[in-house]
Amino acid sequence: MSFFIGVSLKTIGIVTSGGDAPGMNAAIRAVTRIASYRGFKVLGFERGWEGLISNFVRPLTPRSVSGIIQLGGTILHTTRCPRMETPEGMEKAVDCLASNGVDGLVVIGGDGSFRAALALSERTDTLIVGVPATIDNDVAGTDETIGFDTAVNTAVQEIDKIRDTAISHERIFIVEVMGRKRGFLAAMVGLTVGAEIILVPEVPFKAEKVFNTIKDNAAKGKRSAIIVAAEGIGDTKKLALDIEKNTGLETRLSILGYAQRGGSPTARSRYLAGELGNKAVEIISEENGGQVACLQNGVITSIDLKTTCSMEKPLDLRLLKLADILAT
């Protein structure tokens, strides 16, 4: 098959939607340069779905995306856009794609972005392809999302420093990481920092079990501990107070917050951005849409957008068991 497009397809649009993730800029760069190489004109829609509703658009060229591969965030900006969930907003997005002559749209974002992309794909002839980019790593059908590795490494670096203080002062530290609904980030971070306890939304926890684990560890001579908790598990401030009250050990809470979303993407996140961006353009070049570029068992492939949106990605509970054994 020729690497260049036929005359039927001319323009690819790019939108970054939802929460930002390190590597989004690398994905923008990849899509822009691969698409330009294949002969496409490239347009960037600014401020997420609001860009399609309000026609905030600008041309992207191989030169305009120079020097962004190492930058966190997204040069196209992103916002939450409730208007995209209304018939009026959706109609404006459809009209915007038509008026700009967009043959294919690459949506860089997470599961919420893909649900909006699916709804849009049912109302437009524009070929829509997703590129999964979210620190939550919760997009079904792909083993990993752009930005996840960076967020893990950001959290690990900070928790390693907290561990120094925990050991020095013989304290218990709860470290809250992002993850309102899913615990992929907490599980991987907890495993790789050697956390004594990992708490995720998918597995309801009993405070008494947490107290007993800390007491058992103290009896074995471990008078400090790291508890990695996803933000969606409940009130971590109250949990810290309860731990101190029930164990007699000084307990502190550290919330890592939005630092996990920022920063220069790791080599891994940049690599995925390049591969998935290339795959997205390839799908559109073959005049296919309604797909998500993804990583499955080490292979770059694609999955149906509707399938992605209808599934829930399972958390590998084996990681929690492994972390528990390693922390003894």
The question of whether 136 is a catalytic residue gets the answer yes
- SS3 percent helix, strand, coil of the chain, rounded to 5, is 45, 20, 35
3-state secondary structure 132-181: EECCCCCCCCCCCCECHHHHHHHHHHHHHHHHHHHHHHCCEEEEEECCCC
Catalytic residue among 103, 111, 136, 149: 136
Contacts of 163-168 with C-beta under 8 Å, sequence gap 24+, read 163/193, 163/194, 163/224, 163/226, 166/224, 166/225, 166/226, 167/224
The secondary structure of residue 259, as a DSSP letter, is G
Give the tokens for residue 13.
């649009």
By DSSP bridging, strand 11-16 and strand 225-230 are: unpaired
Query: Mind telling me the catalytic residues?
Result: 136
